[in-house]
Structures are given as structure tokens and as C-alpha cells.
Structure 1
Amino acid sequence: MHPHPNSHRLRHGRYSEQGRGYLITAVVYQRLRVFSDWRLGRLLVAELRRAHEQQWVNSIAWVVMPDHFHWLVQLEQRSLAQLMQAIKSRSTLSINRASGTRGAFWQSGYHDRAIRDGEELRPFARYIVANPVRAGLVEKTGDYPLWDACWL
């Protein structure tokens, strides 16, 4: 039996449009709480920032939770598939190197939601950065170290 029987459906009908906003979520393999070690979380953050600095995306907001991340972006110079392939492969290499592990790090696929034209981005950004509070990890957003938003 396939460990993720519907993961192929995540790609069905996926379309990337430059200039469009997307809410992206990717999950660590077997939902291991790897990013409870903030040092490893910062390696993922470095890759998110690199994508922004290379102008692949305009990074609007992100949060790295213990076993997944949420990222609100506006696509610039890459497709969703190219972006996520780069983020996942680069972060896998650096995280495996730092933690002395090998092999798969991320679950296959990712979830994305295209933001409709005229849809306000701030509610999505607020949702993202409030994740640690909703999960009970901290009492205030500012107490959590692995998040950022362009408005703050």
C-alpha cells in the first residue's frame, strides 16, 4: 500500500501564474517534529529567504512549525513546481547535513491555494503567523522565533 495514497491528486490541475499569490504548505516526512530544533528550522528559513532574494518569489509571510511550514508568496520567476523542488531539495541537503541524517526529509507533494484576484492577503498572513498560538506553542506570536511577515 502506498504511504500517501492521494498524493498524486495534489498535482492534478495545478497551475502556476506569475504575479499571483499562493498559500503553500509542505509537511515533514512522517510528520516528525524536526523543527522543534529551531537551529534546523533556520536552515529552512534560509532557503525561503534565498528564493525571495533571487526574486523567484515575493515572500509575504511564513511560519515554520515543528513538522510543516506555511508560506504566502507571490510568484515571480519560477513555477510552483520549480520553486518547491528547489526549496525542498536544498533544505533537505542542509538539514540532513546538520542533523547527521540521510534520505527523505519532506512528504511528497505540497498543498497550494491560489489567492483570487482582489482577495486581501493580510488575512492569510495573519492566519500563517498565528499558527504557533493556535497550536499552543506560545501565548503570543512574537514569542515564536520562526515566522515573518512583510508588514511587520
Structure 2
Amino acid sequence: MTDKQYAAHRLRKGRWSNAGQIYMVTTVTKGRQPVFADFATARMLIQTMRRDELIGSHSTLCYVVMPDHLHWLLQLQDESLSRLVGRIKSLSAKRLGRPLWQRGFYDHALRQEEDIQDLARYIVANPLRAGLVSRIGDYPHWDAVWL
């Protein structure tokens, strides 16, 4: 096991889930393929996330689906973070009919002093910083609930 693999394993092992906690999650497509550059595929992922929210596992605060990754700000409810993200990744890959995601994901549990609105704005501004659009309103694959 390389140092990098060992560090990633330790991070996953140390991950904790807490009901009510707000997390920022980032997950990347397999080989960073731009599968979500396809409008229908991006909408499929969004629909999968929205359907899952209806079961009460989480509340989505904001997200942006980029061509090769997802940024997602959520408040965890009665679910483990790993199980939630794994389920979204599995369901979306099944709906697409092929492997879709790299293993694992990055998460950050927000601290009390962090400004949720600033983080949400940072997340939804990703298409601007990536040069995909000149106005965030022109990018179709994001949403936010302002607290």
C-alpha cells in the first residue's frame, strides 16, 4: 500500500457521521470523464439526489454538478454519510448502466464558525471559476436553499 493509499484509507476509517451535521461532499467521476457534460446525465444525477432526499436521509442545502464531479452541501439526517453517498453513487451508476464514479469521496464537516452561505456561494460559483459560463444563472445544474 502506498503512502497516498494508506492516508486515504485512514481518512475513510476516521470518517464520522452525526445527525444534524452539515457536510460538504465532493466526488469525482471514474477517470475524471466529463459524463455530466451531457445534459440528460446531469439531470439524472440531480433527480437521484432529490428522490433520495424524500426518504429523509438528508437535506440538500446546495449542489453543483460539474462535468466530471459533484459538489454537495447537505445536512445529514438519520443516515451514515458513507451510506448516503454510496447509495447516490450506486443508484446513479445503475441508472446510467455503467461504472460512473471513482472510489471514495472527500467530505468536510462544517465547524460552527464557518459561514454556510459563503460556502454555498463558493460551491455554486464553480462553473464560473471553471470558465463554463459567464453568469451562474446560465449554468443549468445547480441549486441552493439559502438559510
Q: Could you tell me the TM-score, scaled by structure 1's length?
A: 0.89
1-side partners of 2:67 and 2:17: how far apart? 28
Cα RMSD after superposing both structures: 1.8
- 1:18 deviates by 0.5
Give ranges in structure 1 of 5+ residues lacking alignment: 97-101
Which of 125, 133, 136 does residue 130 from structure 1 map onto? 125
SS of aligned partner of 1:137: coil
Check whether the contact 1:16–1:80 (CA below 8 A) recurs between aligned residues.
Answer: yes
1-side partners of 2:86 and 2:36: how far apart? 19
SS of aligned partner of 1:11: helix
Equivalenced residues, count: 145
User: What amino acid is the match of 1:67?
Assistant: D
Aligned position for 1:151: 146
What aligned pairs does 1:33-48 form with structure 2 within 5 A after superposition?
A: 33-48=34-49
Higher-helix-fraction structure = 2
Give ranges in structure 2 of 5+ residues lacking alignment: none
2-side partners of 1:42 and 1:7: how far apart? 30
Q: Could you tell me the TM-score, scaled by structure 2's length?
A: 0.92
- 1:119 deviates by 2.6
Deviations 1:76-135 (A, max 9, x none): 011101101110100000122xxxxx3x31000000000012432101100110000000
- Verify: 1:83 aligned to 2:84, yes or no: yes
